Amino acid sequence: MFSKIKRAIDKSFNEMVDIRRYLHQYPELSFKEEKTAKYIANFYKQLGLPYQEKVGGNGVIATLKGGKPGKTVGLRADFDALPIQDEKDVPYRSRVDGVMHACGHDGHTATLLVIARVLKEFQDDLPGTVVFIHQHAEEMNPGGAKPIIESGALDHLDAIFGTHLWSGIPVGRIEISKDVLMAGADSFRITLHGKGGHGSEPHETKDAITIGAQLVTQLQTIISREVNPMRTAVLSIGKFHAGTAFNVIADKAEIDGTVRYLDLEVQAQIIEAMEKHIKGICLANDITYTFDYAKGYPPVVNHKKEAELVMEAKDSIEDIQEIVEVEPSMGGEDFAYYLMEKPGAFFFTGALKESNPYPHHHPKFDFDEKAMPIAAKTLIKAYLNYQEASY
């Protein structure tokens, strides 16, 4: 049966491309994806599959019950876009100013919709149940995965699989881990409240810029001198805003950044250390501060058995040249929440477009659409492998 499914996926390539390019032209930001959600719901309505709308917000979930007994397996795709101006010179360039699918979520959606249509052709022969999870708001904390889970709509799942089309990996290569695949991703803002004044009289001020510079330097020692070097973590300052004029000493400074980690103990250690360094420097300089730390998505931790089922797909999918176990990426993904609740695995599908090798979240981002059928076949095979392994 899988051979027939593969052929059906290949024959549906143009449909995948058409869907992806349509969605690419009409992107919507996180938590505002109403038209995209309606497009997805209408697809399932025309397909004749039962579906739910507004799950956990703008989520859409459809269900295909196979004709043979088996487990219930979820396949997930996200569908939100980013606040980026599309600078590609292509016919399917975004028509929405300042909004762009710069991370491949349009491709994820097209892939899952075509998977649903193809599997419906084989419904009577399919084991168990496939749940198609179209998730909103992956790009913006707190994300769409958590409210979808909290809605109870996925309580009946036995396992879940997902993939991310990845422009930094050649087409035909799949990357996965049997443990941690992606990092936890947090953000923070430190506001220093000093005392401003004239640039000629620094002794009458409490210079927020000078104090902030000390703090930025000091924070870097947390990773290099306090966290065990065998336990991976990142602390990066992305924004330092202070001052209004060349001859005015700033009374306030805002420092924004991100923390990435692979386990919760390191996250807690970093937060505690940051508080200590901030408090110490501000005390020494006689100023006050506010420290706002936002915990984002936790690490994406694959389950070993389910990751191995994905890896077995290479034996029956000719388009896959290699499946490689990799070290964790320090990027974040709210697929993590699903894996905290259910067995499953997340993997990267190579989608490098050699003529346009710009990274994710770049204004000229694009990906090789030939990656979509590979992603589709791998997800389907993971679902089938899970059914076989369960009996």
Find tokens 């204004």 and name the residue: 363
- CB of 211 closer than 8 Å to CB of 281: yes
139 marked ligand binding residue: yes
Q: Which of 28, 33, 86, 138 is catalytic?
A: 138
156 marked ligand binding residue: no
Structure tokens at 23: 């969605």
**Has 138 been annotated as catalytic?**
yes
- Which residue type does 28 have? E
198 marked ligand binding residue: no
Q: Which of 28, 33, 80, 175 is catalytic?
A: 80
**Has 80 been annotated as catalytic?**
yes
- CB of 71 closer than 8 Å to CB of 159: yes
Find tokens 């490098």 and name the residue: 352
Distances (CA, A) of 146 to 40, 72, 90, 132, 266: 20, 20, 35, 16, 23
103 marked ligand binding residue: yes
- Which residue type does 291 have? F
Structure tokens at 72: 């219930």
Cα-Cα-Cα-Cα dihedral sign, residues 342, 336, 344, 117: positive
In degrees and rounded to multiples of 5, residue 144 shows phi and psi of: -100, -20
282 marked ligand binding residue: no
**Binding-site entries:** 103, 105, 139, 164, 361
Please list the active-site residues. Answer: 80, 138
**Binding-site entries for Mn(2+):** 103, 105, 139, 164, 361
